[in-house]
Amino acid sequence: MTLKELKREFLEYLEIEKGRSILTVRNYDHYLTRFLEYAKVDGPKDVTETQVREYRLWLNRQQGTKVGRNVETLKRKTQNYYLIALRAFLKYLRKRGIESLNPERIELAKVPERSLDLISPAELTRLIEAPDSNTLSGLRDRAILELLFSTGLRVSELCSLSQEDVDLTRDEFSIRGKGDKVRVVFLSDTARDAIKAYLKERKDFDDAMFIQYGKNAKHNDEKNIDLRLTPRSVQRIIKRYATISGITRKVTPHKLRHCFATDLLSNGADLRSVQALLGHANIATTQIYTHVTDKHLRDIHKKFHSRG
């Protein structure tokens, strides 16, 4: 079989047997197609270590995002996505007994340690209180902001919610996240009240928890199209309220997820519990928050530094 045929079977394997999302499968398709277009080889035996090394050099010289007048090269983290996809594909070939390059020969590039540009508690309060509660869209937006900070949901998880998913009598509900894993998240009193206030004013019959309003929504309703908010819509909503609140830094739904985690850790929650609440498969992912919430180190510095 050719590499293109094997790639198709690998993508089907990811979707059916591994249960990966359609978006993940689409991304793997993109990464692997890019390699096959570069390598110009047909058989699995034709993939060599030298070829992969040259491919990495080629990736490192590709244009990435534009910053001002300058165009940066592809970020190392993004380059690693291409390599991870290729390595997973080679592992799949090995599992099927098909001879090709040893996947262990592909090492990922070292990336800088992740930094968190958090907003302050005062900025967070201004952001959450920015929506106009006298309008239906304002009630919706307040509920979105309260829910994101209360639960640490990913924006895709938030948009996937239906009204029947959230039990307001129990202040907790289950969410299916990355890797099709289910976890329990909890509602604060303010989040529960904000959702109740929003749903009380809803007159539509749409099943989605958060829906569009305005001209576009009216046209969609006439055409019987799903009114559910998209992740991009939620990003735009939060960006608008950040501007209204006078926050100069970039604010995204994921930044509210960061605020959720750091708030818990700052108030004494243990790392394992926060890992479970965020739905992180690996605790190393959760540990990025510890250096900004380690009150013990701050107290040590204040107590023992000569100019403390």
Torsion, CA 261, CA 118, CA 27, CA 111, rounded to 10: -100
Pair of tokens at residue 189: 């009193």
Rg (CA), the chain: 23
Q: What is the SS3 assignment for 82-149?
A: HHHHHHHHHHHHHHCCCCCCCHHHCCCCCCCCCCCCCCCHHHHHHHHCCCCCCCHHHHHHHHHHHHHH
The DSSP 8-state label assigned to residue 259 in this structure reads: H
Q: Is residue 254 annotated as part of the catalytic site, yes or no?
A: yes
Residues contacting residue 147 through CB under 8 Å, at least 6 positions apart: 153, 158, 187, 191, 194, 195
Q: Is residue 257 annotated as part of the catalytic site, yes or no?
A: yes
Catalytic residue among 178, 202, 239, 240: 178
Q: Is residue 296 annotated as part of the catalytic site, yes or no?
A: no
Q: Characterize the bridge pairing of strands 182-186 and 172-176.
A: antiparallel
The Cα angle at residue 148 between residues 143 and 154, in degrees rounded to 5: 130
Q: Is residue 289 annotated as part of the catalytic site, yes or no?
A: yes
- φ, ψ of residue 173 in degrees (nearest 5): -160, 165
Coil/strand/helix, residue 254: helix
Pair of tokens at residue 282: 């690996």
Catalytic residue among 154, 192, 255, 258: 154
Q: Is residue 140 annotated as part of the catalytic site, yes or no?
A: no
Torsion, CA 154, CA 160, CA 163, CA 166, rounded to 10: -40
Catalytic residue among 87, 140, 257, 258: 257
Q: Tell me the catalytic residues.
A: 154, 178, 254, 257, 280, 289
